[in-house]
Structure 1
Amino acid sequence: MMKYIVILLTFTLLVGCIDSNDKTLQSNRPIADDTENWDDIVEEKIKRFGHRNWIVVVDEAYPLQSSLGITMLRSPLGQIETLKKVMSILNEQKHVKPIIYLDKEIDYVNENAAKGITAYRDSLMGIFDKSNLNKVMHDDIISMLSKTSDQFNVLVIKTNLNIPYTSVFFQLDCKYWNDVAEKQLRDKISESI
């Protein structure tokens, strides 16, 4: 009996010593209440991220997901300004480049249903090269994120935008290696076996 009491007491003390604000244990909670340095946090995350990590810039209604691999941060800027800052940080990196996904639904939302959608779509084209955009149904992208967050980290940056289907998804890829080089490598390996 005494053995069980000692084990219970030890467990209780260990649990009590865990910092409830430890972000490594609660990665699906906001990592900063103070949004003043949000871009520094994004830059630091991107420097640690590699291919297969994701960054997502979302509207205000985007839900807080429960997966431990997903961290949410709030930007004090509008969505377009946030996207520009994220792209600027990504462009400075030597190790990763983004594969960009938009919700396919964005092309079908009309101005009468969502005031401001036309200007938003036009603004996106000012940030991104149209040929580099992949449009996928929103639920399919969310499924991709869910699967990814089981193994890899995802940073969600929430903005105050109130227009539906305006999320922008950046799947990070290796900047210094490409599909052609990978195929050549795999072919060479296959030939040697």
Structure 2
Amino acid sequence: MFNGCYSPDRLENIEQKVTGNTWKKQFEEKLPFLGHRNWILVVDKAFPEQNAPGMEYLYADEDLLPVLKSVLEKVRKSGHVKPIIYQDKELGFITESQAKGVQQFRQELSTLFNGQNVQTMLHDSVFKKLDSEAKLFKVLVIKTNQVIPYTSIFLQLDCDYWNGDKEKELRNRMKLPL
């Protein structure tokens, strides 16, 4: 319903805040600028805000899995990038008695990834990698309400329309090393 005190644009902004879609709109605006070697992190509630100048944060007032699903869909449909997926190695070792809901989370995550190659790395290694990457490349962090430890997912973006084989062929024709 239109209220004479608010312009249609103002009502749209209010609706986004009420429905929690603000992060989605911000993400959609940022995705075209992200490319090969950029990162998108969908992280749990305890993930720290870092001071690295290349890191930017969005807050999604939602659980991690729906946010991740939305991000993966948009990345896959972008046509210019595809994700290389990383997760914390520790997640595979947490028991249900340590973190209620972890088994269901792992099952739903497995279904979401649907057989895709997912690499694991120790959580502390993630910070070291991001520290060096953020010096050159943008790292977009989407923080969620997830409160199960080690559930953050890290997407390193790769070019969707070019691959290593094509690059190798190009370098061979140019007579340049990879």
TM range, normalised to the smaller chain? 0.7 to 0.9
Mapped to 2, the partners of 1:130 and 1:145 lie a distance apart of: 26
Q: 1:143 to 1:191 in 2, by over 3 A?
A: closer
The answer to whether 1:153 aligns with 2:153 is no
After the TM superposition, which residues 67-146 of structure 1 pair with which residues of structure 2 at under 5 Å, given as runs? 67-146=52-131
Q: Which residue of 2 aligns with 1:25?
A: none
CA displacement at 1:188 relative to structure 2: 2.1
Tell me by how many angstroms 1:64 deviates. Answer: 0.4
Residues in 2 aligned to 1:84 and 1:46: alpha-carbon distance in whole angstroms: 15
Following TM superposition, by how much is the alpha carbon of 1:77 offset from its aligned partner in structure 2, in angstroms?
1.7
Normalised by the length of structure 2, the TM-score is 0.85
**Alpha-carbon distance between aligned partners in 1 of 2:176 and 2:143, rounded to the nearest angstrom:** 48
Q: Could you tell me which runs of 5 or more consecutive residues in structure 1 were left unpaired when the two chains were aligned.
A: 1-33
Deviation at 1:36, TM superposition (A): 3.5
Q: Deviations over 1:23-59 (max 9, x none)?
A: xxxxxxxxxxx55321011111111111010000011
- Distance of 1:114 and 1:42 partners within structure 2: 30
Deviation for aligned residue 1:176: 0.2
- The reply to whether residue 51 of structure 1 matches residue 52 of structure 2 is no
Change (3 A) 1:186 1:129: farther
Q: CA-to-partner distance for each residue in 1:80-136, whole Å, 9 max, x for gaps?
A: 110111011111111101100011111111111111110110010111133411111
Secondary structure of residue in 2 paired with 1:130: coil
Structure 2: gaps (5+ residues) = 1-16
Q: How much has 1:185 moved relative to structure 2?
A: 1.4
Structure 2 CA distance, aligned partners of 1:41 and 1:120? 26
Paired residue for 1:187, among 162, 172, 175? 172
Q: Which has more radius of gyration?
A: 1
Cα distance change, pair 43–190 in 1 and its aligned pair in 2 (3 A): same
Q: Identical aligned pairs, as a percentage? A: 42
Give TM-score, length-normalised by structure 1: 0.78
Matches of 1:44 and 1:71, distance apart in 2: 13
Q: Secondary structure at the match of 1:135?
A: strand
**Partner Cα distance (2:151, 2:107) in 1:** 12
Q: 1:140 to 1:191 in 2, by over 3 A?
A: closer
Q: Whose RCO is larger (CA < 8 A, sep 6+)?
A: 2
- The one-letter amino acid paired with 1:117 is V
